[in-house]
C-alpha cells in the first residue's frame, strides 16, 4: 500500500525460508509414566524450527503465548554495531512472531516481555505484523524493589506487550483478577448482614435525568435530594427494591446519605490494569531465590521471571485445560506455572537449559518436590507429565561433490513423514492401500518412495485409484515420460522437489544474544 507507515531495517526484504522438521520424541527423557496420555511437550532445539514443526498440527489452538526473548542489550554481540545489531535482532524475531500469530486461537493472546532496549522496536514490529487494532495494552511490571545506585537512571520496570487475535472475544473470555488481601480488608459487616462482609459506594451519578431526581427519606428521618449536577444512581422503583433487599446503607444511625452495598461474596473480580507492582507479582530477586532453591547456587539461571508474574498472565489469558506456549522457555518458569495451574503446555528451549533447567524443574514439579513459587497458592502436590522432543536433523545433506542428497539418518518412515510435512500433507498411512501414505484431504494423497518408479508399477497404482482421487509421488527416479503419463498423478524426484521451498542444512536460527553479567545484588541502594 502506498505511503504505508512501517519500520524498515537492513535485510527486512530478504525472505527466511525455514525447513519444516520432524519432532522426534526422546523417550528416555520423557516423564509420562503417571500420565501416558499427556499432551505437554518440552522441545529442545531452535525455536524457529520448532515453531515451524508445530504449525501444521497446532495452528489456531494456542490460547496463551508468552515470550521472554533476549532483550538485545549493548553486549549482545562481539562486534557491536547499533544498526546491524538491531537489524539482526528484528530479522530473527519477525519469523518467530509470524508463526506464533498463526498458532493463536481466535480467543488467544500473545504476551511479550521486553525492556527499554527494544520495547519501541518490538511494539512497531508487532503493530506491522499483527495490526494495530490487535494491540490491547503495555503492562508495566515493577521488577525491582529499590534503585540501582550504579546506574545513571535506574530502570525499575520492564514491559509486557499484549496483543490478541480478536479484541471483543478476548474481552468476553479473559479472566478478571481476584481481590488482593489488601482489597479484601476494605470489606466489613457492621450491620451483621447474613450475606457477609461488604463495602459501600456512592449512590449518585453525574448528570441530570428527570426520573432519577427524587427525594429520599432515610430510616432515621433525614431527607436527601441529589447534589447539584448529579442524580441518583437508579430510578425510585429500583432504589426501593434495593432498600427492601438490604442493599442500601444509611449509616449506623440510619441518617446518612444512601450508599449501595457490594458484598465480597458476590464480587466477580477486578478488571486487569497495566500497573503490576512487585508486591503483587514478584520481582527479580524473588525469581532468583526461586531458581536458587530449585537448582542450587552453582546452577542458577541468569534472568528468570518470578512465578507470580507468569501466574497472573496465565490466569488472565486462559482456563484449565487450555494450551499455553513459551518458545523462549529459559529455566522453564512458564511450563512449571502452567503445569501447576492445570493448563496444557508446550515449551521450547534451544540451549543446554532444556536439560539442566527445564527438565530438572518440571520433573520436580511432577514429583511434588517444587515447594516454591506458586505451589502453595495453587495447592499443587504433584502429578501429570510431559514428553521430551528433539528436532530431527536436516532432511537434505550435501555429498563430497556438493550435490544435495537425502540425509542417510532418515529411514523410510521418517523420510515419508518429513516429505509430507514439507508438502503440507498429514502423514497417515492407510492400513490397506500402500500408496495412500499421506493425505491433504479425502481425495488428495502423497506417496514417498526411495525406489525407481517404472511404467508398469505406476500403471498398477493408477488402476487402483478411484475417480476423483489425486496422487503425488516423490521418488528417487522414474522412467522417462512418466511425469506426464496420467493427469491425476504428479510424479517428482526428491530432493529436487523440495529444494526450492526452504533452506536446508541450517541447524538453528539462533539469535546468538547473551545477557550481560547480572550484578550479584540488583537491589543495591
Distance, first Cα to last Cα, the chain: 52
Q: So what's the pLDDT on residue 124? A: 95
User: How many Å apart are CA 484 and CA 84, to the nearest integer?
Assistant: 49
Spans of all domains in the chain: 23-175+271-391, 181-266, 396-499
Based on its alpha-carbon atoms, the radius of gyration of the chain, rounded to whole angstroms, reads 30
Mean pLDDT of 73-88: 57
Strand partners, 442: none
Stretch 329-355: mean pLDDT? 96
The 10s digit of each residue's pLDDT in 346-368 is 999 998 889 999 999 999 999 99
Residues in contact with 277: Cβ distance below 8 Å, sequence separation at least 6, in sequence order: 142
Average pLDDT along the chain? 91
pLDDT at 308 over 70: yes
Name the CATH topology of 23-175+271-391.
Rossmann fold (3.40.50)
375-381 own/partner pairs: CB under 8 Å, 24+ apart: 375/340, 377/311, 378/311, 378/340, 378/341, 380/340
pLDDT (mean) for 475-486: 93
- What is the per-residue pLDDT for 505? 82
pLDDT attached to residue 429: 95
What pLDDT does residue 518 have?
A: 45
Which sign, positive or negative, has the C-alpha torsion 220, 226, 231, 236?
positive
Three-state DSSP class for 240?
helix
Question: What is residue 201's three-state secondary structure?
Answer: strand
pLDDT digits (tens, 9 = 90+) for 230-244: 999 999 999 999 999
**Average pLDDT rounded to a whole number, residues 69-88:** 62
The x, y and z cell numbers of residue 299, run together, are: 546452577
Residue 319 binned pLDDT confidence (cut-offs 50, 70, 90): very high
Chain position carrying cell 541450517: 506
pLDDT at 516: 47
DSSP string computed for 105-172: EEEEEEEEEE-TTTHHHHHHHHHHHH-GGGEEEEEEEE--SS--TTSSS---EEEEEEEES-HHHHHH
- Beta-bridge partners for 426: 439
Tell me the mean pLDDT in the region 70-85: 56
Question: Which class for 215: exposed (0-12), middle (13-18), buried (19 or more C-beta within 10 A)?
Answer: exposed
CA–CA separation, 355 and 172 (whole Å): 39
Each residue of 253-280: pLDDT tens digit?
Answer: 999 999 999 999 888 899 999 999 999 9
Instruction: Kindly report, residue by residue over 456-471, the tens digit of the pLDDT.
Output: 999 999 999 999 999 9
Find out whether 438 and 416 touch, Cβ atoms under 8 Å: yes
* pLDDT score at 517: 46
Q: State how far the Cα of 172 lies from the Cα of 79, in Å rounded to an integer.
A: 48
Instruction: Give the phi and the psi of residue 294 in degrees, each rounded to 5.
Output: -85, -40
Question: What is the tens place of the pLDDT at every residue in 106-123?
Answer: 999 999 999 988 899 999
CA separation for the pair 350, 347 (Å, rounded): 10
Q: Helix count (H) and strand count (E) of the chain?
A: 15, 26
What CATH number belongs to 396-499? 3.40.1350
Amino acid at each position: 500500500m502506498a505511503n504505508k507507515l512501517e519500520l524498515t531495517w537492513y535485510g527486512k526484504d530478504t525472505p527466511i525460508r525455514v525447513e519444516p522438521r520432524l519432532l522426534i520424541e526422546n523417550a528416555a527423557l520423557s516423564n509420562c509414566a503417571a500420565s501416558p496420555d499427556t499432551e505437554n511437550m518440552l522441545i529442545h532445539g531452535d525455536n524457529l524450527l520448532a515453531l515451524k514443526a508445530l504449525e501444521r498440527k497446532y495452528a489456531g489452538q494456542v490460547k496463551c503465548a508468552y515470550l521472554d526473548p533476549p532483550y538485545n542489550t549493548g553486549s549482545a554481540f562481539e562486534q557491536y554495531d547499533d544498526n546491524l545489531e538491531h537489524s539482526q535482532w528484528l530479522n530473527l524475531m519477525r519469523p518467530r512472531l509470524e508463526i506464533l500469530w498463526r498458532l493463536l486461537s481466535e480467543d488467544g493472546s500473545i504476551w511479550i516481555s521486553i525492556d527499554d532496549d527494544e520495547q519501541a522496536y518490538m511494539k512497531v514490529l508487532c503493530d506491522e505484523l499483527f495490526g494495530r487494532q490487535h494491540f490491547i495494552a503495555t503492562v508495566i511490571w515493577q521488577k525491582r524493589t529499590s534503585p540501582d545506585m550504579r546506574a545513571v537512571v535506574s530502570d525499575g520496570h520492564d514491559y509486557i506487550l499484549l496483543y490478541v487475535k480478536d479484541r471483543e472475544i478476548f474481552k468476553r473470555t479473559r479472566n478478571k483478577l481476584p481481590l488482593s488481601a489488601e482489597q479484601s480488608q476494605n470489606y466489613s459487616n457492621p450491620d451483621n448482614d447474613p450475606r457477609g462482609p461488604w463495602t459501600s459506594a456512592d449512590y449518585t451519578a453525574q448528570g441530570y435525568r428527570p426520573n432519577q431526581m427524587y427525594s429520599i427519606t432515610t430510616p432515621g428521618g433525614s431527607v436527601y435530594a441529589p447534589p447539584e449536577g448529579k442524580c441518583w444512581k437508579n430510578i425510585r422503583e429500583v432504589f426501593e427494591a434495593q432498600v427492601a433487599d438490604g442493599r442500601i446503607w444509611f449509616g449506623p444511625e440510619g441518617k446518612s446519605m444512601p450508599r449501595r452495598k457490594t458484598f465480597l461474596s458476590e464480587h466477580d473480580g477486578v478488571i486487569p490494569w497495566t500497573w503490576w507492582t512487585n508486591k503483587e507479582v514478584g520481582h527479580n530477586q524473588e525469581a532468583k531465590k526461586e531458581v536458587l532453591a530449585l537448582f542450587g547456587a552453582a546452577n542458577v539461571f541468569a534472568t528468570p521471571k518470578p512465578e507470580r508474574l507468569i501466574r497472573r498472565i496465565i490466569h488472565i489469558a486462559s482456563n484449565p485445560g487450555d494450551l499455553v506456549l513459551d518458545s523462549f522457555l529459559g529455566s522453564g518458569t512458564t511450563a512449571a506455572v502452567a503445569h501447576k495451574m492445570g493448563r496444557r503446555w508446550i515449551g521450547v528451549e534451544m540451549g543446554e537449559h532444556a536439560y539442566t533447567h527445564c527438565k530438572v524443574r518440571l520433573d520436580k514439579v511432577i514429583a511434588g518436590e517444587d515447594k516454591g513459587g506458586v505451589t502453595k497458592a495453587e495447592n499443587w502436590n504433584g502429578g501429570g507429565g510431559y514428553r521430551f522432543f528433539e528436532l530431527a536433523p536436516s532432511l537434505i545433506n550435501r555429498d563430497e561433490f556438493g550435490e544435495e542428497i537425502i540425509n542417510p539418518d532418515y529411514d523410510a518412515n521418517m523420510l515419508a513423514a518429513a516429505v509430507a510435512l514439507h508438502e503440507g500433507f498429514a502423514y497417515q498411512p492407510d492400513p490397506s492401500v500402500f500408496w495412500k501414505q499421506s493425505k491433504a484431504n479425502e481425495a488428495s494423497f502423497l506417496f514417498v518412495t526411495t525406489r525407481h518408479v517404472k511404467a508398469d508399477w505406476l500403471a498398477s497404482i493408477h488402476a487402483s485409484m478411484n475417480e476423483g482421487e489425486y496422487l503425488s509421488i516423490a521418488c528417487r527416479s522414474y522412467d522417462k515420460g512418466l511425469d506426464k503419463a496420467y493427469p491425476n498423478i504428479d510424479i517428482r524426484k526428491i530432493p529436487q522437489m523440495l529444494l526450492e521451498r526452504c533452506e536446508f542444512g541450517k541447524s538453528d536460527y539462533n539469535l546468538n544474544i547473551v545477557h550481560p553479567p547480572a550484578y550479584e545484588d540488583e537491589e543495591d541502594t
